[in-house]
Structure 1
């Protein structure tokens, strides 16, 4: 009995895992420096550090050997090897995690290579049949054990890097908290009263617009540069949308004239965002009006050098079926790695809570990671979805419910 191998099917060892982890160690702590002060004041350092690490650091692989199953099939043998067919056994091992890790090389490599294939959720090992079941089981057990060893070595490197990154992030957060505390003490010592209007009560239209500088990330599958918004800018944009939306909620009579339909909503949203943000070069960055992109036209779009960094859609709730179509529409646009997106869902129904929970369930059925818990689930919910173009490309999606009542 022998394990069936092809040179092109070797797993693990292709990419340097430590190089990727070193990049995370270098870049991730910067998220602590960019954390909005309001969020820093509202949550503990430990909670914020866990959130930053989960957002920016690779998650370990979860190999489900208990869910292992096998299928047999026939393959054609080349004429130079005698021709005909042989029966092979494909052993499937389910896993959860980033597929690229199955092609990575940890610092402590196991004793031997592994040959097989990967899908989005399984490792597939192939064996020739024809001898005793005992010998076949021995071969399978040996290869499965080897896969476990590689995964354990990879997860060990990730665990070490995660601990290092979390320690630095906690230190950065503590430093920022101290500086903010010192600044607060200084303001308290002044005779001039200083008051900040709560975000829920005011809508900011700044004198100087905030610059948006998309960050370049690794080349995409098509070999093109990809761009993404920093998490800080993404949070600012979503917060601006939320405040505008809640201003409409508080003033239903005025809102009726502003939001008669989705095109008008789109125009108002783009007006608000253009009033708050610009490209670092000073040029307009948000596209006003519908922008042709992918399979349709987006409502809100941030682009940089022809690549998308943020996509937003304004939708009225018209039932579960239509909302699922809206999600498909959003995913059908040409989005790329780490693209940030938002659905602004306007609800006119009396039972708004039930609508929000139904919309939440629609998105959860598609998400590939646990949803981020929110202190205010009626205000905002966050999800991570896989791009339909590449399962390894993640989309951060915010659901922003807006309840628009009809004035009496």
Structure 2
């Protein structure tokens, strides 16, 4: 176990850091300071002595769960000589790994504003130019404590946020002092250079008064630092936790209701086939669409279901379709297979729910047509499951190809409008 913020104070440490820099400048020879380019030296010392604040990547925390024994105080020990003061019970240890960047030594300093509490962590891996550092922080709970929580995941997330808050606040206080120190660093460098140059000038003037032949060698090598900027290695940004793409879908309950509405709409058309037999695919689609929107209304508009393609009915969300209905006039088995393939090209989310609504306007033998569809579904390699709901309706589960694990629910329903 390691304790943070307890090995020194920021004020004293930063002062010592500045004094080390000033001592280096004081060590310049007279010749060196009198030929120095102050701008170049200011850049050099600022780069060399500035402090890198601590940056915590809280969005990239990883956690690990392990079994342990938890030490608990025994309240009964105060009233009994036979009761132990502490007892060990089974529990869990949650280990959080928090990546960070910056000067690792800052984590051991106490800022001017601080909490009167301890700050234990499991371990610290220092940040380097090639790799981010890591703070390991642990929480321990008995099995009973976690089992009593309705949502242990949310509880743990809340706890790490609460328990680590004082750590974050303290680091913010340190970073504020680091920012103040860094802002004043260039002025400190220039002041030290000026003081050292003044001392050198005073010495030269004194030599002139005493007629001591002190002069700079015009042939002396150039000792002004050339491009003394500290080489900085750009560190790659740590990969961020991408939330998986949201896979929206309509509920099974709503899908069943949609199928029911479609079936009732088509059955109603069959009863007045002489009227609807004259309708085109688009017109028949609009009847289904109107009935669906009578039952469902969207948030942004009065229509949950919209027309997207020539004969398509969609529920759109974030520019993707959560439900697709395709209306077709029966023109043979090949057109049915084309309609199924067309659905596959539209679906983008997992567990997409769809309907293929077929209208028969030209075939006198409707029973034969139904047998053709039954046989086509039974022999289709992509149809993994088929359930006959009614004589004219099937609910199937398709995959896009033989290697795909993505399932597509398809309601296939046929209405007879032949007159």
| TM-score normalised per structure 2 | 0.39
| TM-score normalised per structure 1 | 0.40
**Bigger CA radius of gyration:** 2
